[in-house]
Amino acid sequence: SGGIGMDLAAARQRVEELRRLIEEHNYRYYVLDQPSISDREYDALMQELIALEEAYPELRTPDSPSQRVGGAPREEFNQVRHPQVLLSLNDAFNEGDLLEFDRRVRDLAGRPVEYVIEAKIDGLAVALTYRDGLFTLGATRGDGQVGEEVTANLKTIPALPLRLRRPLPFLVVRGEVYMPKVAFTALNAAREEAGEPLFANPRNAAAGSLRQLDPKITASRSLSLFVYQVISLTGAEVATQAGALDFLAELGFPVNPYRVVAPDIQAVLEEVKAWTPERRASLPYEIDGLVIKVNDLALHSVLGATAKAPRWAMAYKFPAEQATARVEGIILRV
Ligand code: NAD
């Protein structure tokens, strides 16, 4: 169901249907941590919606799920307004998407740009606040503006530094809480034994484990963390994303060892090709792609962001082995 070439009425009907489906899947995924379709299938629905909204701009609305981040925070938690919106990322599925991203970036920057490539950790995003070097507040991304306060739960994660190696006055960082593959397998095995519903994947297991009202349950779930962004900082300065990652590691944060500076988009494409399915499978945690970011942080403010995602970064999603064949069936079934 490509969509382009439909008449406006048919396109409107399909857009409305897609929005309804996507909202329902968002709720199941972000609020209940229990998705009923695969991420590939979800991405296909979203790509179809985006393509229709591009082909029929009159159908665009600011509340479309294509324009929004994540899901509503759960009411059982205290809600925290983030000092800076925690955005999502735009997706690239092939070389063409990455070349187009690079062209847009260079057009806006007016000069060649260097990139950093990172692993896209398949977990859930959190914002961590440190005052005078002490961890004081932790929140989930939620809908990007408002998240859930989960400080006590985050404190149970052994990888999370409670005190920085340098007592900076103020620091907010963004990272990803994830569940290692072995912990996920063990958790689901125990749940199966106990007759409890299984988690669909390590990401949903991590989200379900962090978003517990009782931190003792979180503590029992073997969660871990990678930190990848400086959101707010006083008492020091960082000029590049690669420098920020090194700085975060010096402060004592767990930073993913894979980070590569690429002088241009051709080098990015080479690096992307080097990620074989075997290499990905050899990691002890799941990654669902790579994140390509402009290295120069001064350019980030020049490039800015849309409502959903920054213009200075792109998520390259690994191709799925055989996911798309089921998409039509799912659409008909829901
Ligand atoms: P995303 O997962 O596609 O990408 C953005 C996220 O990547 C960020 O929020 C951040 O948390 C994470 N990330 C990991 N490593 C990073 C790094 N090094 N640098 C920057 N960010 C990094 O976007 P999303 O908005 O979190 O969620 C969309 C995803 O959720 C899609 O994969 C989609 O398939 C899935 N989803 C699935 C369903 C379903 O029903 N199956 C429903 C909703 C969403």
CATH number of the CATH domain containing 20:
1.10.287.610
Q: Distance between CA 269 and CA 265 in Å, rounded? A: 6
Q: Are residues 99 and 213 in the same domain?
A: yes
Q: Are residues 63 and 102 in the same domain?
A: no
Calculate ∠ Cα 245-229-210, nearest 5°.
Answer: 115
In a domain, 286, yes or no: yes
In a domain, 187, yes or no: yes
In a domain, 254, yes or no: yes
**Run of H or E including 287:** strand 287-294
Q: Are residues 87 and 50 in the same domain?
A: no
- Contact 141/125 with Cβ under 8 angstroms? yes
Confidence (pLDDT) at 3: 54
Q: Distance between CA 290 and CA 94 in Å, rounded? A: 12
Instruction: Tell me the residue type at 164.
Output: L
* Cβ neighbours of residue 76 closer than 8 Å, sequence gap 6 or more: 213
Q: Whose CA is nearest to atom 6 of ligand 1?
A: 88
Q: Distance between CA 178 and CA 315 in Å, rounded? A: 17
Q: Are residues 165 and 35 in the same domain?
A: no
Residue 174's domain comprises 79-324
Mean pLDDT of 263-272: 98
Q: Which of 19, 23, 29, 201 for a ligand 1 pocket mutation test, highest count of atoms within 8 Å of Cβ?
A: 29
What is the model's pTM? 0.92
User: Quick one: which of 125, 173, 164 has its CA closest to 147?
Assistant: 125
Q: Are residues 198 and 147 in the same domain?
A: yes
CA of 176 to the centre of ligand 1 (A): 10
CA of 91 to the centre of ligand 1 (A): 9
In a domain, 272, yes or no: yes
pLDDT tens, 230-256? Answer: 999 999 999 999 999 999 999 999 999
- Contact 265/99 with Cβ under 8 angstroms? yes
**ipTM, 2 dp:** 0.96
Count: domains in the chain:
2
Mean pLDDT of 308-322: 89
DSSP letter for 249, please: H
Q: Are residues 137 and 52 in the same domain?
A: no
- Contact 82/75 with Cβ under 8 angstroms? no
In a domain, 72, yes or no: no
Q: Are residues 191 and 42 in the same domain?
A: no
Q: Whose CA is nearest to atom 10 of ligand 1?
A: 125
Q: Are residues 34 and 144 in the same domain?
A: no
Q: Are residues 58 and 144 in the same domain?
A: no
User: What's the length of the chain?
Assistant: 334
Confidence (pLDDT) at 333: 32
Q: Is the pLDDT of residue 129 over 90?
A: yes
Q: Is the pLDDT of residue 6 over 90?
A: no
In a domain, 144, yes or no: yes
Pocket of ligand 1 (CB under 6 A): 25-26, 28-29, 35, 37-39, 42-43, 69-70, 88-89, 118, 120-121, 125, 176, 228, 291, 315
Instruction: Tell me the residue type at 135.
Output: F
Active site residues: 120
Q: Are residues 38 and 166 in the same domain?
A: no
Q: Which residues face 178 on adjacent strands?
A: 224
In a domain, 1, yes or no: no
CA distances from 312 to 177, 292, 297 (A): 23, 8, 9
Residue ranges of alpha helices (H) inside the chain are 8-26, 39-55, 95-109, 151-154, 181-193, 202-210, 215-219, 241-250, 265-273, 277-281, 297-303, 327-333
In a domain, 34, yes or no: yes
Q: Are residues 52 and 171 in the same domain?
A: no
* Cβ neighbours of residue 257 closer than 8 Å, sequence gap 6 or more: none
Residue at which a domain ends, from 67, 93, 108: 67
